[in-house]
Structures are given as structure tokens and as C-alpha cells.
Homo-oligomer: A and B are copies of this chain.
Amino acid sequence: MTGPFQPAWIAVDWGTSNLRAWAMAADGCVLAETGSDEGMGRLTPGEFEPALLRLISPWLEGRPPVVACGMVGARQGWREAPYRKVPCAPLDPAAMILAPTTDPRLHVSIAPGLMQARPADVMRGEETQIAGALRLMPDYDGVICLPGTHSKWAHVSAGEVVSFQTFMTGEIFALLSEASVLRHGMQGGGWDEEAFDSSVSDALSRPERLAARLFSLRAEGLVAELAPGTARARLSGLLIGAELAAARPYWLGQRVTLIGSAALAAAYARALAVQGVEAAHLAAADCTLAGLAALAPRTEATSP
């Protein structure tokens, strides 16, 4: 007879835009996965518990502990999990914050993010992926790059995050390609690898010319029939190149590992390869789950 569905614990990645949850077995296997677009950005504090219950209510019979990371712990989130200050280990089980709940089946703890005083910087969610990466690559010493809406570069050594820096590359790409005058020349599919490569190189070798390159993408569309796929690849290359120019101390002569989606990690890997850096790649979800697993209370697998 098959018993009720009883995960040992539940992993939750709760960012600004999305909520994802995984039902986990005691051995670390994923039993089920779910998600919604009820990110922290659209929720008031009282709306977090119902949003979570909508997704994971069927998994709660055995009262498995829920372990969450990301913007859910921001000041405007479910409950603030105050930043921990680098240099420090990316996660500390003793620093978890309990979320206020009314459903007796729910026990939710939230991982704090990291902050750096000078230069000022913050992260929420990436610290869990970094912790996961360190579990997947024990004794890793080098740089971890997490490209995305807000790309992070972190220098890790001896199990600690030593320093990190955030770049708004993904958000700026979205704003310029979807909300600025450049959007007119970027409708339609296609991609131009060569244009991407040369734009990365251009931004790296002549960073002072960046501001002059952007409107050209629109003007060439008007006077020289620039293809949308080429325009988008050039914008992406310019912005990633500008990020690499500013992040040079993080990758020059360093061991680099990328954590992110396959497509985005491939674009960064390609840009770095031109600079002579062969970056490794880990999938974001693997790192998130490995990081959250380290925070899950020790539980025995239950059987009916």
C-alpha cells in the first residue's frame, strides 16, 4: 500500500518575480517541483503564507520543514532576515529566521542574504547558490559568477565569500531592449554570435565609447537596415562587455565558475573565453537545492 506523499523537507527559492518550490526526499532527491509568479515584488507581508500554501499545501501532511532563500527575507518580504556581513561563510544554519505562520502544518525558515560594507553591496538568494556550489565543488577557491537580472561576482576562498560585486546588466538589457527607443529595432527573433563577440571586445577595449554605441543600434536600423537579431546581440555584447570591463579584477587570472541558466551562462562563457578564461558551469537549480539542503533540519525519511 502506498502511503501519503511525504517529503522530508521542502526547498523554496522565492525571488522578486518568481516563487519555486521542491518537495525533497531525505536523500536529496527531488520528489516534485512547482512554481508560480507570486514573487516577493507583488506580495504584502500577509500574502506570503497563502501564496506558499497555494503551491505546497498537498505536501504538508507530515509537517516537513520548509527552507527558503531569496527576496522573501528582504525588509519588504515575509519577514526580514538581516544581512550577514562578508567575509563569512555564504550560509549559517544558526542565522535562519522563522517566518510567522498561521497554518499549524507550516514551519518556514528563511536564509539571510549577505552584505558588504565597502564597496556597498548586497545579495539575497545568490549566497545559497554559492553555498550549494561549494558543496558540489568542495575546497573550491576562486570566483563564482552568477549572471542574471542583477549579476553577481563573488570571490570565495576557504569556504567563505570574501568580497562580491553586483551588476545591473540583465535589468538594463531588459529596459533598453523592451522599454527604450531601441525596442523598435529589436522586434523579431534571431541572434548574431559574431556581433555579440565583437561588441564584447569593443566594450572591453574601448569602455569610454560605450555611451556612443547604444543609439547607433537604433540609427543603423533606420538608415542601414540593421537586423533585429544583430541589434539584440550587439546590445547584449556591449552590456556584458561593460560588466566584464568593470569586473576585471574578479576574472583576470582567476578560476571562474558560472552559475545560471544554460543560455546566459553560455554567453558569459563565450565572452570570457575570448579573454582567455575557461569558465566552468553549474546549473542554478542544482546549486540552490544543494545550498538549501545544508540548511534543512536533519530529518529521517518517514514511511507510513
Contacts and interface: CB of A to CB of B under 8 A. Distances in A.
A216 B166 CA distance: 8
Interface of A: 83, 115-117, 119-122, 150, 165-169, 171-172, 175-176, 179-182, 207-212, 214-216, 218-220, 222-224, 226, 239, 242-243, 245-248
A239 B243 CA distance: 15
Contacts of A176: 168, 172, 175
A215 B181 contact: no
Contacts of A116: 219, 223
A180 B208 contact: no
A76 to B, nearest CB: 9
A181 B74 CA distance: 14
A181 B210 contact: no
B212 A247 contact: yes
A226 B121 CA distance: 12
Nearest to A220: B120
A165 B246 contact: no
B211 A242 contact: yes
Contacts of A222: 115, 120, 122
Given A115-B219, A172-B176, 10 more contacts: A83-B223, A120-B226, A168-B181, A168-B182, A168-B214, A172-B214, A175-B179, A175-B180, A208-B248, A211-B243
Contacts of A121: 215-216, 219, 223
Contact of A208 (B83, B219, B245): B245
Given A120-B224, A122-B223, A223-B117, A212 B168 contact: no
Contacts of A169: 211
B167 A219 contact: no
30 contacts: A83-B223, A115-B219, A115-B222, A115-B223, A116-B219, A116-B223, A117-B223, A117-B224, A120-B216, A120-B223, A122-B219, A122-B223, A150-B181, A166-B219, A167-B211, A167-B212, A168-B176, A168-B181, A168-B214, A168-B215, A171-B181, A172-B214, A175-B176, A207-B207, A208-B245, A208-B248, A209-B246, A210-B246, A211-B242, A211-B247
